[in-house]
Amino acid sequence: MIQVENLTKYYGLTRALEDVSFSVGAGEVVGFLGPNAAGKTTTLKIITCFMPPTRGKVLVDGNDASMAPLKVRSLIGYLPENVPLYREMTVSAFLRFAAEVKGLDRAARAKELDRVMEICRLTERKNSIIARLSKGFRQRVGIAQALIGDPRILILDEPTIGLDPAQTVEIRKLILSLGEDHTILLSSHILPEVKKVCDRVVIINKGRIVATDTADNLAARMKGAPKVIVKVGKDGPSASRLISEVPGVESVSQLDDEGTMEVEVSRGADARAEMARRLVEGGFDLKELRSQEVTLEDVFMHLVTEEDETS
């Protein structure tokens, strides 16, 4: 559905993007990750025809965004990072205005407004002044305007930014439900959100793509030995010496003065049972023994740090 090819963008002499290439397939929900000022919003603005690239091109369902911007815009529902709402209008009046701008005829508008307000759970707020809504409901209004016209593709730029935990959960559920019928490109720097809603992630840093894969595959590709966290109730140094003698253990590091250790294990080895047996037989009070999984945060920090060091 979306094909980004060698996208480069300069603001004057400042390079915002360099040779950015990635794709989003039909029906996918893809997370577009990066730290602040990485180039996420610039990329989305080019895809949605808000600005042209300096070089490269974007194809949306086979249509060149530079050559056929009106066609591309008709295929996309866009939620910018700063949702452009007319705060003095009611919810229904604003959505009716958005439907008019998108070219829906009068007969279709009322039905379409009912549809998007039901999806976004705004029906009971349709006569509310937007300025009086909570941040979460204003975000729902922004998503509702993106849904008007039933576009096949949704591009959401930081959809949960500034929301409280309860509002974040509600917007996450909404995005998950929308992913059943739409292709979604979701920009964010909130890693747990991306992990929970996206099929695949694209990571950008300093205007360059540094990785594209599923979160699980990226974690599996990270270098370094698997790690186990062990906590005993007393005499951590003695426990460390005992654990270090277990076959497959590469190293043991003390994490605190309360008997918590990080144990690196050789790839393919599972030394947990033997560590537990030796500690219990040695008279140690084993309080915790668990594998330390590589998280999306670990992957993100590893890739971004690696890119910073080589640039």
Domains parsed from the chain with CATH numbers: 2-219 (3.40.50.300), 223-293 (3.30.70.100)
The pLDDT tens digits of the residues spanning 218-275 come to 776 665 557 899 999 777 788 888 999 999 998 898 888 778 998 988 877 788 999 9
CA distances from 249 to 222, 242, 246, 274 (A): 19, 11, 6, 10
Contact call for residues 47 and 155 (beta carbons, < 8 A): yes
Share of the chain above pLDDT 70, in %: 94
Say which residue the tokens 């949605």 belong to: 48
pLDDT at 270: 83
CA–CA distance, 201 with 211 (Å, rounded to integer):
8
Report the pLDDT value the prediction gives residue 76, as an integer from 0 to 100: 96
200-205 vs 208-213, strand pairing mode: antiparallel
114-158 pLDDT, tens digit per residue, is 999 999 999 999 999 999 999 889 999 999 999 999 999 999 998
User: Distance between CA 8 and CA 6 in Å, rounded?
Assistant: 6
Whether the per-residue pLDDT at 19 is higher than 70: the answer is yes
Neighbours of 245 (CB within 10 A): 11
CA–CA separation, 115 vs 44, rounded Å? 26
**Residues 6 or more apart in contact with residue 134 via CB below 8 angstroms:** 167
Average pLDDT over residues 31-43: 90
> How far from the centroid of its chain's Cα atoms is residue 190's Cα?
6
Q: Take residue 211 and report the two structure tokens written for it.
A: 């990785």
